[in-house]
Chain A
Amino acid sequence: MNKSVEIKNLDLEFGAVKVLQNLNLDIGKGEFLVLLGSSGCGKSTLLNCIAGLLDVTAGQIHINDKNVTWAEPSERGIGMVFQSYALYPQMNVEGNLSFGLKNAKLPKDEIAKRIKRASEILQIEPLLKRKPAALSGGQRQRVAIGRALVRDVDVFLFDEPLSNLDAKLRADLRVEIKRLHQNLGNTMVYVTHDQIEAMTLADRIAIMRGGQIMQLDSPEEIYGRPVNKYVAGFIGSPSMNFLEGRIEGDVFLVGDLAIPLAGYEFASGNAVSGEASLGIRPEHVVTGELVGNAPFQIDIDVSLIEPTGSDTLVDCEVAGHPFRVRMDGQAKIKVGERLRLGLDLSKASLFDKTSELRL
């Protein structure tokens, strides 16, 4: 793999607080990498380190095979898009796009050419003479992307670019960013706390927690085979159900239930036994006519219903643990009714009780 960004043994400390610890990350050329995590996990800090806006404590950062650990942000060959857009408010759109280029003493016709190209790609040509205050949130973020685009760089950094937009605009602009990546083929590093954005955009997702990368993998792999309980609970909405119990032989014991483990692929290849958590995604529980095919079935009482239109979420209890099931939006179901669920462990996850690692 051709490396675009290489991060080696990166440490960052603010006084006594270690924000990033011995972090290693390689990002391939043309890859769309998403840094995902809850607030305070160090994802934005890592992005700021790549951009050069924060001085690292130890370690190295290479961009395009050049050691840029101590280079100024403008010399690293990066463009950056911020959550608050960070446009220069008293300059019009054209001024915002050209200010950095003029400062770098680029020839006028080159600047004009780049602005033309960027505004065509982002469809902001009619807005060029307007001030940021006269633009909507979505238009402002487009201009901010344009400002990164005119820099003609290989690596784009996005710091939660869609978090200030309303839900509909966010979905629209998300698609546009993905299209932009397909057309340009640049390397993109994208920080978000929104797992839908991460899943839809990323070639690979890096899930971060406490300044470390928990799992770095494709969205499918992270969703289907999370390496630990934290990742499993973080990815997926509604989140995964966990049943605390014990593996004995080829069954998982929880309360007075014995769930057969047939079909589950152990990470080590061999079956293990002992205390464990069984994780089942609400969408992997079978209801209705298909229950008959499931290897394990159980009857539950419906305690709460959350209809979302496309789906209906059903809350209930399994062996004393709160449990959620996703049903079709058309399903006719009432609180207090009895419902038969079918579980298939081939899509489930098992985690060790103490280490919380995947079994």
Chain B
Amino acid sequence: MADARPSQLFRNKSAKIAAIPMIVTALFVFVGGTAWTIVYSFTKSGLLPRLKWVGLDQYERLWSTKRWIVSIENLMIYGLSMLVLVFVIGFILAALIDQKIRFENTIRTVILYPYALSFVVTGLVWQWILNPEFGIESIVRSWGWESFAFDPLYNADIAIFGVLIAGLWQGSGLVMVLMLAGLRGIDQEVWKAARVDGIPAWKTYIFIVIPMMRPVFITTLVLVVTGIVKIYDLIVAQTGGGPGISTEVPAKYVYDMMFQANNLGQGFAASTMMLLTVALVVIPWAFLEFGGSKKRG
């Protein structure tokens, strides 16, 4: 028999070898790429990266650019509205489908279907639907309501809500399916117990069922939030950022700066700001969620 305890480093060799490609990818692409981007955001890089330090100049320029400010505002408006509405709509749809209805599979498929489309298709479709010449507005006017006006994409003040409609149309199905899975996981006897206790259905949902669905909500939240932060293709396909700069978003700003305006340094600074924003949200949450787990056992 072996005299000494074998080294921990060499145990489970095959598993460790199999993990190496992913470890390398994570280290070089994600961590390395992020660090590289942050470093070069302090340089005066133009078409090509150059290590010519300019300190915080790129950030000062970024925060004095109207387009960036509008992008951030749009992301906030779109993000908060999307987050609240997609959860409300998705949950209500799931609760309705959970009432032992007929043709459940068909309805579920229909509602989930938009999620199978790419954002480019969704964007184009909703661009047409919201187009006053041949979309909803022209249909309602052809019915006789001549003064009807519904052209959000042509009004700079509300154009972002036109994008929001398309985003909700595409995203609600996924939330509904996740919520439905969560609802189905609730023990039917809990519902019975609540009925015997005389608790109305809406109260049972709010005080008993939704708290029981916390893990599903967290999964859904992560999916929805990442979808919001990286929104880019929907904007490009539906509005191209317009009218004017009224529907610009940070991801589009980064892309345009890096590959159209040949201003890498500015693009890096913008993407670093995006990273910082996400980190400010995620890190405190992660501490709350996982830091306390030792106490709970």
Q: Which residues of A contact B (CB under 8 A)?
A: 48, 51-53, 72-75, 78-80, 82-90, 99-100, 103-104, 144, 147, 151, 159
Contact = CB atoms under 8 A, between A and B. Distances in A.
A104 B192 contact: no
B222 interface: no
Contacts of B190: 86, 88
**Residue among B187, B196, B207, B211 facing the most chain A CB atoms (10 A cut-off):** B196
A100 B199 contact: yes
A103 B193 contact: no
Nearest to A90: B211
**Residue among B192, B199, B211 facing the most chain A CB atoms (10 A cut-off):** B192
Given A78-B196, A99-B199, A100-B199, A88 B208 contact: yes
A83 B189 contact: yes
Given A75-B198, A88-B207, 19 more contacts: A51-B192, A51-B196, A53-B195, A73-B192, A74-B197, A74-B198, A78-B196, A79-B196, A80-B196, A82-B192, A82-B193, A84-B187, A86-B187, A86-B192, A88-B194, A89-B212, A90-B212, A99-B199, A100-B196
B189 A82 contact: yes
A205 to B, nearest CB: 24
Contacts of A103: 197-200, 203
6 contacts: A53-B195, A72-B198, A74-B198, A82-B193, A88-B207, A103-B200
Given A103-B198, A147-B197, A86 B189 contact: yes
Given A74-B198, A100-B197, A53 B192 contact: yes
Given A84-B187, A86-B189, A89-B212, A99 B197 contact: yes
A159 B193 CA distance: 11
A51 B198 CA distance: 12
Q: What is the size category of the interface that chain B forms with chain A? A: 10 to 19
Contact of B189 (A73, A79, A84, A104): A84
A12 to B, nearest CB: 16
B28 to A, nearest CB: 42
Interface string B41-58: 000000000000000000
Contacts of B193: 80, 82, 86-88, 144, 147
A109 to B, nearest CB: 20
B204 to A, nearest CB: 9
Contact of A99 (B187, B189, B195, B207): B207
A73 B196 contact: yes
B52 to A, nearest CB: 57
Contacts of A74: 195-198
Contacts of A75: 198
Contacts of A78: 196
A140 to B, nearest CB: 12
B198 A100 contact: yes
Contacts of B194: 88
Nearest to A99: B197
**Residue among A80, A86, A89, A144 facing the most chain B CB atoms (10 A cut-off):** A86
Contacts of B198: 72-75, 100, 103-104
Q: Which 10 A-B pairs have the closest CB atoms?
A: A74-B198, A100-B197, A86-B189, A86-B193, A90-B211, A82-B189, A73-B196, A80-B196, A86-B190, A73-B195
A103 B193 CA distance: 14
Nearest to B208: A88
A172 B195 CA distance: 29
Contacts of A82: 189, 192-193
B77 to A, nearest CB: 33
A91 B207 CA distance: 9
A80 B199 contact: no
**Residue among B194, B211, B212 facing the most chain A CB atoms (10 A cut-off):** B194
A148 B197 CA distance: 9
B201 to A, nearest CB: 12
A85 B187 CA distance: 10
Given A88-B208, A90-B211, A99-B207, A72 B189 contact: no
A92 to B, nearest CB: 13
A103 B194 CA distance: 11
Nearest to B204: A88
Contacts of A89: 211-212
Given A86-B187, A103-B199, A80 B207 contact: no
A84 B187 CA distance: 8
A242 B190 CA distance: 44
Nearest to B199: A103
Contacts of B189: 82-86, 159
Interface string B208-231: 100110000000000000000000
Interface in B156-215: 187, 189-190, 192-200, 203, 207-208, 211-212
Contacts of B211: 89-90
Contacts of A83: 189
A106 to B, nearest CB: 11
Contacts of A73: 192, 195-196, 198
Contacts of A151: 197
Contacts of B187: 84, 86
Nearest to A51: B196
Contacts of B208: 88, 90
**Residue among A53, A79, A88, A159 facing the most chain B CB atoms (10 A cut-off):** A88
A86 B190 CA distance: 5
B291 to A, nearest CB: 20
Contacts of A86: 187, 189-190, 192-193
